[in-house]
Structure formats: C-alpha cells, structure tokens
Chains A and B, each alone.
Chain A
Amino acid sequence: MRLLEYESKEIFGEFGIPLANYITINSSDEIEEKTKKFSYPAIIKSQIAIGSRKKAGLIKIAQNQEEAVLLCREFFSRKVPGFVVEAIIIEELAKIDQEYYCSIALDASGRQFYLIVSKEGGIDIEEVSKERPEAIIKINFSYSIGLTENTARAAATQLGFSGNSLQLGIDIFLKLWEIAKKLEAHLVEINPLVMTPSGLIAVDGKMILDDDAAFRQPIVQNLQEKKLSEFEKLAKTAGFSFVKLSGEIGILANGAGLTMALLDVLSKLGLQPANFLDVGGGASKERVYKALELIFKLQPKAVLVNIFGGITRCDTVAQAIIQALKDFSDAPPMVIRLTGTNEKEGISLLKGANIDVFQDVIDAVKKVKEVLSE
C-alpha cells in the first residue's frame, strides 16, 4: 500500500524526523478555520497519488490566507480521472541551501535492502538513476545486520555533510531504517531532504507498506479501511482480488496470471475489460456468486468467465453461475469457459440450464466479440 506525503509525514514526525512546519486539512469544511492558524507565504500541496503534482498545478504558493483558502477550494474540487485529492498540506516555505534525496528500499529480487542517497533531491529518482547513475549512492545491507551507524555515516559523508549536519544526517538515515523495520515498509523515502540554515528537514516523503502484514500492523489495517474503495472492500471480505478498469466486458477468472493473460488477449482484439477479478483458489459457490454480483454492478455489456479448475471445482462455479442468472433477470450476456477439475460435471450442469460453455479460451473470446457486435 502506498502512503501519500501527509500520511508518511505523520509517521516521520512520530519517529522524530525533523519536518518543516505544516498542517493537514482533511476536508473542505476545515479550510476556513485551519488556514487562519498559519503564517504566510506558505506552500499549498494537494495530497493525491499522482506522480508530478507540481506539473499538474496541484502544488502552489499562497501569499496570504485569502489565497490559501481559494487554492484549497480549487484543489479539493479538482477532477483527476481515477484519483482524488485526499487532503491538503499547508507548509512553511523552507529556506533551501541544498536539496538531497534519501530512502530505504527493499530490493525484493535481491532479498536485501538499500540505503539510497543523492545530492540531487527533489527530482524523480528513477529518471536520474537511468540517465546519470553516478549521481546516486546505493549501499546494500541485509535484514539481520540492518543499517549500521557506520553505513549511515559513510552515506552522509559522501553527501558532503559535516559538523552538526553529519550527525543529523546519520540520525535521519537510521530513523528511516527504524521506520522500515518497525512498520515493515518496502520503501521509506524523503525527497527532498532539505538543508536549511537551521539544519536538515524532510520536505516531502512517501512510503510503501506491506498489505500482507496487516494482521500485526494496526496502521496498515487502518489505512486499508480508509483507502480501499467500496468495491475493493467487498472483494477483500469475500476473498478475491479485484481492480476496476474502464472497459465494457466483465471478467471473472481464477489465478492472477491467467486473469492477466485473458485481459491481454482481449485488449489485443480491441476489447476493453471492465475489471480484473481473480476469484482465488478453491472458491466456494458463495464466493463465485458474490464475484458475479459485484461484476453485474459494473453494468458490463457482457461477462466472460474463464476458469481453469485446480483447487477450484468447475461444478461449484457452474452452480454459482446458474444461481446468479436465476436471481438477476437483468444480467448481461455471459460467455463461459470451464476446464480442469470436475469439468464434465460443470459443463453438464450449465448445459442442463441452457447455458453455452466453451472449452477453448480463444473460442470464448471470439464469442464475446460476437455478443458485443450484436
């Protein structure tokens, strides 16, 4: 799960990472009251999960409270397809001597961690690492040894920190690792870390937390509750994974890879899926039924079901389909492909209910195309 600046900074603050003065406005009701309590000029930053907020005009400077109010209203009402402005940060303008980048990142395929630092803060680190990798310092370390003071010191020294800022820098890097370890973060990033006349402060940040650690990380539980859409919550409770897409064909499949492969075949033929839905392994009749119910809510023009039964049984899936079609008289046309465990039983159940079944995926996809053009 990705955390935005305001969520990350709350955590940075709790762990004692120095920040610029700021306040968070959580809804338009709070604008008038909260903007009064800040001194200007100040920077107004939308909290939205898009890459370059500045380019999109979602970060601006307000010279006084009046301007701050207007900007906050504008930002909250801004429509960015697929994203929302979750909150707004008002922050003092830091006196910037130099901007740096620093993060702790999980190297999943290397099964280790990196402390990454650079003298070029504020920029897109992925871009810099491609164009000028020499501008980035990466130091790897293992989980069991962790980030040591010596490693942190080496990184801070390479950034040119000295005197007071050397110790400050070391402390910040060690705190990033403390946060990563304690909250099981895949990424804890400060960008930029700013050198001001009064010392180092974190001006922007982001984090990625592990959804699978929710059972022992209350913060992940709380954020899931807050961040997941109504559809995603429904899917999570029912036990399948769901992503809403923008097309017109509802998809129910099993297995993430197989579902993705199916979406690829569709889009190659110019057909747009309305969703990604992996019903998961060993799905019960109830789970498949709930998945269909959710897909019907998207009002697709057709629904394509593709099941390769392993732990999942084709007859269970067939029963759920028959039940759903009985209960939803306005259901869109369904195209079904079943193969694998209990395939014969599943197919004969569907045929008994006068529902066509395909055993070959490509045939099923062609049928969807036919249904759409009717």
Chain B
Amino acid sequence: MHISQNSKVIVQGITGKQGTFHTQLMVNYGTNIVAGLTPGKGGQEVYGIPVFNDMKEAIQETGAETSIIFVPARFALGAAMESLNAGINMTCIITENMPVFDMIQIVEKAKEKGLYLIGPNCPGMLIPDKIKLGIMPSDMCHYGDVAVISKSGTLSYEITKAIGNSGIGVSAYIGIGGDPVRGTTMQEAVVYYSEDPRTKIIVLIGEIGNDEEEKTAEYIKEHVSKPVIAYIAGKSAPEGKRMGHAGAIISGDFGTAQGKIKALQKAGALIADTPWDVPKMIKEFH
C-alpha cells in the first residue's frame, strides 16, 4: 500500500536498540534503506547507512519518500510530524503505547497534506519477496494473490505463516495495528486491495473493540466483489476488560466479536472459526 520494491526508506530512531535490530532484518530482506534519523547523531553510520539529524536534510541527500518510526511513545508525535512536514509519502509508525490525542493530531496533519500513514503499534507492511517495511517475521510467505489485512501482530503472523506453508502466496501483508486511532483504517486498506489488480482474495484479521470491522463490512457489502475471508479474535472475551491492545475492549454490546462476525457475514464475507482454518478456506477459491 503506497510502497514498492523501489521505495527509498528512512528509519527514524535507527540508533535505538529496536531501530538498529530491525534495520538489519529489513536490509537483509532487500528493503532499500537509504538513511537513518536520530537527532544529535548525524554523521554516524549504522550498517553503512548514513545517519542524519534532520529529515529535510536526509531527503535532500537521498531522495527518500518512505519512513518507518521506532522512537519511544513520548517522542513519536514529534517524529511523525517531522516526517509529514517534510512531505514523506508513507510513514509507518511501529511505536506502541502512543497517547491517542497525539495520533489524532498526526492523522489530521497527514490528511491535510494528502500523505499516508500506517500504525501506530503495528507490525508494518510486507510485499513478499519485494519489500519489508516493518517488524514481521521475514519467512512467512512468498509473493502471490492474497492480501492479508490485520489489526493484530502475532496472530496475523500465525495465519500468514499457515497460508504460506500451504503453498499460497500473498500480494501484501498489512498490519494496521491494535490502537483505537489508526493512520490506515481496516476499511482504507480494504478499499486499496479491492482495487489492486494483483489481489484476488482478501483475508481480514480482526479483534474485539472499536467499530472498524462493522464499517469495513458496510463497505464490502456495497463495493467489494472479491472473496473476503475473515477471522475475529475475542469471541470469549469478557466485557469491560482491556485485552492487551489499547483498542481491544468490549463495552456493552459494542465491539463484540459476535457483532463483527454478523456484520461481515451479512456483507458476504466467509468467517473462519479458528485461525488455522484460513488456508483451507482460501484453497476453495484457488
């Protein structure tokens, strides 16, 4: 989604522990990382990648148009704003535990400038065998025609790996993240991949909380003719308890797994009973 094999990527927070570690994994995958950014550490190098103090300077020197953010939560607002103000086309925010009010401001800025965001608290995006912009396992699957769009991290690894192991290829893996306010919503990702000519089947991985699946279902009903297979986690979750993700909480009968499943079924999506049923269901269409 808004990235390709040719994307030139800047890593914000490249000198931190996570930033350095995942930079190496992304480079190994073949991602074209052209610069790192850490204020005060300009002039250094990480795996031969030049580090800059300032986003505008980094863009001037490298021509980057994509960024991935690894800075701690309290600095993520500043990092994302710097990226957006410099005109970076796609900013991927890996950072978890970001205050919601920061994210609201970031999304408003991106909309105002016509730029794209994904995350926060997300695994990022993978176009198998082409580019990895994120922290997901590198060996889940090869390129193919199934788009996987997920709110959750490890659960989507589990499902994507099962898809890969069964010999099915993936056109894109999109981890939109588990926070309540997201740079890319589930619906926005579905819109993109329902129009993507290389994608034949869409897999949605949702969970309790929020109304994203319900809104996505409304869109699918009216606009999507490709097969949609969905798994929703949290069928047995109790009300009022936050299950790990900031967004994963049921309040009243709002945000329940049952409600989401019903909405998606009404829209014509097929529902997987367990995560491990997804590959067989895809095969029905192949």
Contacts and interface: CB of A to CB of B under 8 A. Distances in A.
Interface of A: 2, 49, 51, 106, 108-109, 111-112, 126, 142-144, 181, 184, 186, 210-213, 215-216, 241, 243, 245, 254-261, 263-268, 273, 276, 278, 281-282, 308, 310-311, 340-341, 361-362
Nearest to B99: A213
Contact of B247 (A108, A245, A266, A273): A108
B132 to A, nearest CB: 12
B151 to A, nearest CB: 7
A212 B151 contact: no
A7 to B, nearest CB: 16
A256 B242 CA distance: 10
A261 B155 contact: yes
Interface residues on B, range: 35 or more
B92 interface: no
B236 A264 contact: yes
Interface in B45-99: 73-74, 96-99
A257 B185 contact: no
A256 B240 CA distance: 16
Contacts of A268: 235-236, 273-274
Contact of B154 (A108, A241, A257, A264): A257
Interface string B177-195: 0101110010000000000
Contacts of B221: none
Contact of A255 (B154, B185, B240, B257): B154
Contact of A126 (B157, B205, B252): B252
A182 to B, nearest CB: 10
Given A108-B210, A245-B238, A265 B152 contact: no
Give the top 9 A-B pairs by smallest Cβ distance, nearest first.
A257-B152, A255-B154, A256-B244, A257-B155, A108-B180, A267-B236, A260-B233, A213-B99, A258-B154
A58 to B, nearest CB: 17
A280 to B, nearest CB: 8
A276 B208 CA distance: 14
B135 interface: yes
A212 B246 contact: yes
Given A263-B236, A308-B158, A243 B211 contact: no
Most buried by A among B99, B205, B208, B241: B99
Main secondary structure of the interface of A (DSSP, over half): mixed
Nearest to B103: A111
A257 B181 CA distance: 17
Given A109-B212, A126-B252, A311 B105 contact: no
Main secondary structure of the interface of B (DSSP, over half): loop
Given A111-B181, A126-B252, A308-B157, A261 B243 contact: no
Nearest to B187: A109
A263 B243 CA distance: 11
Contacts of B244: 241, 255-256, 259-260, 276, 278
B227 interface: no
Given A256-B152, A258-B154, A310-B137, A144 B100 contact: no
Contacts of B150: 257
Contacts of A181: 101
A205 to B, nearest CB: 16
20 contacts: A143-B105, A210-B99, A212-B100, A243-B238, A255-B152, A255-B154, A255-B155, A255-B157, A255-B244, A257-B151, A257-B153, A258-B153, A258-B158, A259-B244, A260-B234, A261-B155, A265-B274, A268-B273, A276-B243, A341-B137
Given A109-B210, A308-B158, A310-B137, A212 B181 contact: no
A51 B240 CA distance: 11
Contacts of A257: 150-156, 178, 205, 207, 233, 245
B37 interface: no
B276 interface: yes
Contacts of B271: none
Given A109-B215, A361-B276, A258 B155 contact: yes
Contacts of A243: 238, 241-243
B254 A210 contact: no
Contact of B233 (A241, A261, A281): A261
Contact of A212 (B73, B152, B238, B273): B73
Given A143-B105, A263-B236, A256 B243 contact: yes
A256 B211 contact: no
A184 B103 CA distance: 12
Given A109-B212, A265-B274, A311 B135 contact: yes
Contact of B108 (A2, A109, A144, A211): A144
B224 interface: no
